[in-house]
Amino acid sequence: MAAFTMRKQVYAALPEGEEHRGARWMAALIIGNVILATATTLLQSVPELQPHMAANTTIPLLCGSLFLVEFCLRLWTAPECHRLWGKFPVLGKCGSYLVSFHGVIDLLVCVPMVFILAGFAATGWLSLFGVISLFKLSRYVTSLELVGTVIRNERHTLMASVLTLGLLLVVLSTCLFLIENEAQPERFKSIPHSMWWGIVTLTTVGYGDMSPVTLPGRILGGMTMLIGIGMLAMPTGIIATGFANERKRRELLQTWKIVSSLPLFKGLDANWISEISGLLRTLMVPAHVTVITKGEFSTALFFIVDGEVEIDLHPAPRRLKRGDFFGEAGLLQNKPRSATVTTVKPTRFLVLGLAEYQSLISRAPDLRRKLEETASQRTRESR
């Protein structure tokens, strides 16, 4: 039992685990180690520094030791990782971690240390393993993880466009070979040789080392350039659309989590939470800014996600924090605001507009009852 408790605590302290004070420090240590390992690998390629870098194995050993300790801890705590459930049931959670992307990277970055301990210099192709450690940053840099997710989500569409590009490459290279072989037998000596021209032309790089000299060849070359521009635009559009969809999905998921944690929506089922999440919009307001003014008519209901606001009530102001909401009285009774609300610190709100509010309330009597009870209680407190 003690071993299981310790394993849970270690998993919580590792980045990617549960929220833990040690996770932030561990992430900083690993990121620093990645930067140090990569910098050492890059400096080893500088001719003036090679004698000194090759003789000094302290830094590579230190970086490799930290990577090895991290790998062993992640392998030991793999049974606590919920994301590994069901990926490779035959292998179990430890095996699933070993064959996962991050597991393979964690293992590969330990390779240079093994060779150093065996008496070899971590230079040449071994230095590649030091640069591979940069992929570990995808655990901590959201944008890198987002790129991988988008490519994975759009892999079928991207594969279709790449396959189409490959087919065009073979067909166009064959056509140019048949046209240019007689005029330039040394350059276009075979279809595989001509495919280099096809790759360069379709990607619109245009090195100029292989170019058609006949009129039909130049016409085909011009057509290939135009086709290449259109074909390269396809993956760009696919990835751009994938980024937009994934960002929207993540924002909706984040809003869903926030909404489900708000006291007002406690007890609602997942369908209601999803519908409410789609109706809300995010609003960021700096500190000491008036959100609503006393006397103006109500147009929205505000939920505090982060930050703090102050309601100018008599005889004493009242402060609301994360999880609280305001603006319900004016919407329920269709009357002007009864107090001015100002942000105390930078605050993030989820805002429910008037039209969305009316549509929601008409179909959710329990939610309307909660709002009426809150409005009545606040009215009594302000008297």
Question: pLDDT by residue (tens digit) across 239-297?
Answer: 889 888 888 888 778 778 777 777 777 777 778 778 888 888 888 999 989 888 888 87
Check residue 343 and give its pLDDT.
Answer: 93
CATH number of the structural domain 156-247: 1.10.287.70
Please tell me whether the overall predicted TM-score, pTM, comes out greater than 0.75 for this model.
Answer: no
Chain region(s) in the chain for CATH 2.60.120.10: 265-382
pLDDT at site 336:
76
Q: How far apart are the first and last CA of the chain?
A: 56
| pLDDT at residue 370, rounded to an integer | 74
Q: CA–CA separation, 320 vs 134, rounded Å?
A: 43
Q: Are 276 and 330 in contact (CB under 8 A)?
A: no
Q: What is the pLDDT of residue 3?
A: 56
Q: For the chain, which ranges sit under pLDDT 50?
A: 17-18
pLDDT for position 55: 58
Is domain 265-382 annotated with CATH 3.40.1390.10? no
Please give the angle made by the CA atoms of 333, 334 and 338, to the nearest 5 degrees: 80
Q: Is the peptide bond before 315 cis (omega within 30 degrees of 0)?
A: yes
Strands (DSSP E) along the chain, which ranges?
A: 281-285, 290-292, 300-306, 309-311, 318-320, 325-326, 341-343, 347-353
Delimiting residues of CATH 1.10.287.70 domain(s) in the chain: 156-247
Q: What is the CA radius of gyration of the chain?
A: 31
What's the confidence (pLDDT) of residue 266? Answer: 72
Class of domain 2-139 (CATH, top level): mainly alpha
Per-residue confidence (pLDDT) for residue 163, from 0 to 100: 92
